[in-house]
Structure 1
Amino acid sequence: MELPNDYLRRMEAMLGAEYSDYLASFSDQRVTSLRTNTRKIQPEDLKSRLPFLEEAVPWASEGFYFQEGVPSKHPYYFAGLYYLQEASAMSPGAMLPIVPGDRVLDLCGAPGGKATHLGARLAGTGVLFANDISASRAQAMVKNLELSGIGNCYVTAETPEKLAENFPSYFDKILVDAPCSGEGMFRRDPAIIKDWIERGPAYYQPIQREILTSAVKMLRPGGMLLYSTCTFSKEEDEDNVSWLLHDFPEIKLQPIPQRPGISEGFLPGTGRIWPHRVRGEGHFLALFQKETAGEARFSKEAAVHGQPFYQKKSRPFSVAAPDFAPILSGEWGERPVWEEKGNLYFLPPEAEKKARIRYLRTGLFLGTCKDGRFTPSPALALVLKPDEYPNRVDFSASDERAIRYLKGETVTCEGSSCAGADGWTLVLFDGFPLGWAKRNKTTLKNKYNPGWRWQ
């Protein structure tokens, strides 16, 4: 791998005696890791089920390293029990101090690794806005959030400026994992070096400052903002922190929580992850809080102004889908739904949908109604708990029919754990939902999402 001379000179000046160790790290074996989806399973339970998992990631207790196995070719992956994520990339989701009920924004969220982490930490409360300026990249977040069983979210494809116009002083917590020159990922993806040569830190710094400016406007008084990059460049890291503190005096730097493997940055209170010190790639972290005193520019009341997106009366799910919803147990049938062009949604109750925003997903997509018949969505299957839908079939961990189902094949449920009546049936693997099938006696007509199939 040929690294740019300008980059090498700067890294040598930055690292001093550790420079040779950093260069030697490029010859190390590639580090692989995954993060437990705590919305569905606890880390210790997942580790007991997957023998190839090794020790936990030091700064993210949900994460595990592994060297063997193919986690993307396991039914647990399709059940959303974990997300394949580089270890250092878990640090922003672990460091942002989320509490239940928060309004959380992942401003540069695609493809969704950090968004799914934040959504899992909300534990079904509050609301998550997962945004990316690119609609095509944001579509990847829709799939990843749905696989993770996170229904209390909006997925948007907007500029940070447009969001700031519509959501001033609105969010309790904001993550800005900013586009950057990617120096911390050179070892993992050498193709990034070409972009660095063509653009470099000077190209990204003004973009990062524009994004941070919008983020500050959207942060409520007392709210917290985490800024992160996967680059070593001081220009994009500590220099941006100093600029933010100077230009926005209401923003104060908070110390990054002390975790093994996270070193202090060149500015006290910031954090850095160095690939020659830990099992992970390069990352930078800075945590801020917006002061509550003297807040005048962006009032809390301003967050609720504007015309509501829809004026229609909502109606219970049991009324909107009378052939399906009444079968669900608990309070599912009485929850209010919003309908648009035959599509039914549960909107997050604490977050209004704004008319001028481009949404790719609005809350939990329940399914579609056509000619009085309801077709449940894949997202609904991944949110349900096994006992919330009586018509179900559960394939054991040793049953190869689960993989055949994930490939889109018609299978039988004879000899498996089967409950309920014919019709729409929830298919599970080892107790965890995968998707839907239409059951006729022992035959399961496959209704698994074609775009999610096992390839």
Structure 2
Amino acid sequence: MLPVAFCERMRSLLGDEEYDKFINSFGETTERYHALRINSVKASDDISDRLRNIGISISGDDNSGSNAAQIQVPWEKNGYYYEGDVAPGKSPYHEAGLYYIQEPSAMAPVHYLDPKPGEKILDLCAAPGGKSTQIAVRMGGSGILVTNEINRDRARILSLNIERLGITNALVLNETPENLANVFEGYFDKILVDAPCSGEGMFRKNENASSEWSPENVELCGIRQKEILDAASRMLLPGGRLVFSTCTFAPTENEESICRFLSGHPDYHVADIQMFDGMDHGRSEWISDKCIQACGLSQEQESSIRAEVNKSVRLWPHKLRGEGHFLCVLERDGELIDRTKDNYVPGGRNLAAKKEIQKLFWDFAGESLSFADEKEKVLTSGLRLDGTLFMFGEQLYICDSKMPGIHGLKCMRPGLHLGTIKKDRFEPSHALALAIKKEDAKNTISFAEDSNEIRQYLNGQTVKCSKDAPKGWTVVCVDDYSIGWAKQAGGVLKNHYPKGLRINY
């Protein structure tokens, strides 16, 4: 049951004819759209064959009458629709990080953020991690991604998804936007603000979203969004790009949030962008007189801001294959400077671990990992381990030498977790297993996606193997994709899959 106040507001905004089309999209018989996004950091060219084995076609050649245009999410080259009776979240491929299950419309903001390798990017309101991992894939492991979530429990989920997809260049934080602004002022090339909102666009997917909705919460979200955007604006470089997005229909949280922001930040403008079929422009006529008055705008300023707001984008569930979303591409006036030789690091650099600790890791690496260039610390797949090795508690991490320092920040994951130092030995982390590829490990064993062995492994059981298999640390794979560690001895794989991630099949 949709909230009455919500329905009344939407009818008033849309008019009877458009409202009927809109509200019909919430009917029980209306098709819902499901999608996943291929993690091209891990997945290889055979991914279409692998997914076909679990009932998902991404190539349009499965003789079902489908074609690539119907299968692919228009605004995400790695995004693909799948039928609702398929359960990709239950496949071992999911645990191996080969894809991220993500609502189709939710993939649009990162398309317009347009991340590139080498950039410094902030995802300010990042949990559960769909957009952060989407950004990371576009960055290709090069550059610095700071991904933040204010809620600690949700920040843990964010950190786990960064790990699952094998992301190596992310700093995961659990901070307030205001605290981040004090540390990272004028630092980022691009910022995504997927703002907390009333979630009206999720009413079709999540029954709790409608039961928890209230007009008062809509107003509170609008206020909080202003605070978040104000903090974000301090962290963006001149010439940088800030994408604001929500999953709600409320003008208070969409067009009016952009109006409030532009009125207080005259050095920002809304970028002209190319929209996809089914997308609509924002509706500046929905900005209330109350909002205009609160912003203290003259008639000339109001006219200018309304024209800017009209360049924002709305995604409607009755017009495209996805849920309701809003986004706006904001750019700061000026020109981005070339910072390739800039050595500035917010918070100072992370201090390198003691030599004896680093030696424990490199001894392990020499025994267990395969290098294309050991001197340059480049693994066979091309993954580089030439960053700064440093301790975070008892855990050893590696990060880019220019990764911001974590002193004074609530940090969940400060780079790639290599493993744990236990007295005089090193034990590799689950994150390292997911970050490397099969060819990077000297000892590997691979099981089929539908095998009993891979399910036994993910359940935490010991798994039998050949007695002739090499002893020591072994990367377990599902169809040649790394999924975790085991230690082989006497024809048995001692399971090192994390207890908190184990699955009961």
Q: Is 2:288 the partner of 1:271?
A: no
Q: Deviations over 1:156-212 (max 9, x none)?
A: 001000000000011111100000111111111121223322633211111000000
Q: Indicate whether 1:110 and 2:127 are aligned.
A: yes
Larger proportion of strand: 1
Q: Percent identity?
A: 39
Q: CA 1:401 to 1:279, structure 2 compared with 1: closer, same or farther past 3 Å?
A: same
* Cα distance in 1 for residues equivalent to 2:48 and 2:499: 29
The aligned residue for residue 362 of structure 1 is 414
Distance 1:140 1:279, change over 3 A: same
Q: Please give the secondary structure, in 2, of the residue aligned with 1:200.
A: helix
Q: Give the Cα–Cα distance (whole angstroms) in 2 for the partners of residues 383 and 294 of structure 1.
A: 32
How far, CA to CA, are the matches of 2:159 and 2:6 in structure 1?
Answer: 36
- Cα distance in 2, alignment partners of residues 144 and 368 from structure 1: 20
8 Å CA contact 2:350, 2:404 repeated in 1: no
What residue in structure 1 maps to residue 286 of structure 2?
A: none
Q: Which residue of 1 aligns with 2:94?
A: 77
1:319 corresponds to which residue? 359
Find the counterpart in structure 2 of residue 185 from structure 1.
202
Distance in structure 1 (CA, Å) of the matches to 2:261 and 2:355: 46
The answer on 1:159 being equivalent to 2:176 is yes
Offset, 1:427? 0.4
Counterpart contact for 2:200–2:248, Cα < 8 Å: yes
| Unmatched segments (≥5 aa) in structure 2 | 58-70, 284-308, 372-376, 379-384
Task: Sort the Cα spacing of 1:380 and 1:293 in 2 relative to 1 into closer, same or farther, 3 A.
Answer: closer
Q: CA deviation at 1:235?
A: 1.4
C-alpha distance 275-294 of structure 1, shift in aligned 2 (>3 A): closer
Runs of 5+ in structure 1 lacking a partner? none
Q: State the SS of the aligned residue for 1:367.
A: strand
Structure 2 residue aligned with 1:426, among 455, 466, 475? 475
Q: Is the 8 A contact 1:381 1:434 kept in 2?
A: yes
Aligned equivalents of 1:142, 1:432: Cα separation in 2: 21
Task: Go from structure 1 to structure 2 and tell me whether the alpha carbon gap of 1:171 and 1:399 turns closer, same or farther (over 3 Å shift).
Answer: same
8 Å contact 2:388–2:400 — kept in the other structure? no
Distance, in Å, in 1 between the alignment partners of 2:99 and 2:370 is 26
Could you tell me which amino acid in structure 1 is paired with residue 472 of structure 2? G
CA distance in 1, matches of 2:273, 2:42: 28
Please show how residues 17-416 of structure 1 align to structure 2 within 5 Å: 17-27=17-27, 28-41=30-43, 45-51=46-52, 52-53=55-56, 55-67=71-83, 68-197=85-214, 199-266=216-283, 267-292=309-334, 304=344, 308=348, 310-312=350-352, 315=355, 319-327=359-367, 328-330=369-371, 331=377, 335-414=387-466
Q: 1:133 Cα deviation (Å)?
A: 0.7
Q: In the alignment, which residue of structure 1 is the partner of 2:306?
A: none
- TM-score (ref. length: structure 2): 0.83
Q: TM-score, normalising length from structure 1?
A: 0.92
Distance 1:313 1:399, change over 3 A: closer
Partner of 2:12: 13
Distance 1:284 1:424, change over 3 A: same
Deviation at 1:320, TM superposition (A): 3.7
User: 1:438 and 2:437 equivalent?
Assistant: no
For 2:471 and 2:323, locate their aligned partners in 1 and report how far apart those are by CA, in whole Å.
Answer: 50
CA RMSD of aligned residues (A): 2.6
Secondary structure of the 2:253 match is coil
User: Structure 1 residues 251, 317: CA separation in 2 closer, same or farther (over 3 Å shift)?
Assistant: farther
- Shift in Å, 1:143: 0.6
Q: Secondary structure at the match of 1:199?
A: helix
Deviates more, 1:204-213 or 1:26-35: 26-35
- Count residues in correspondence: 447
Shift of 1:269: 1.7
Partner of 2:501: 452
Distance in 2, Cα, partners of 1:307 & 1:46: 40
Distance 1:164 1:186 in 2: 33
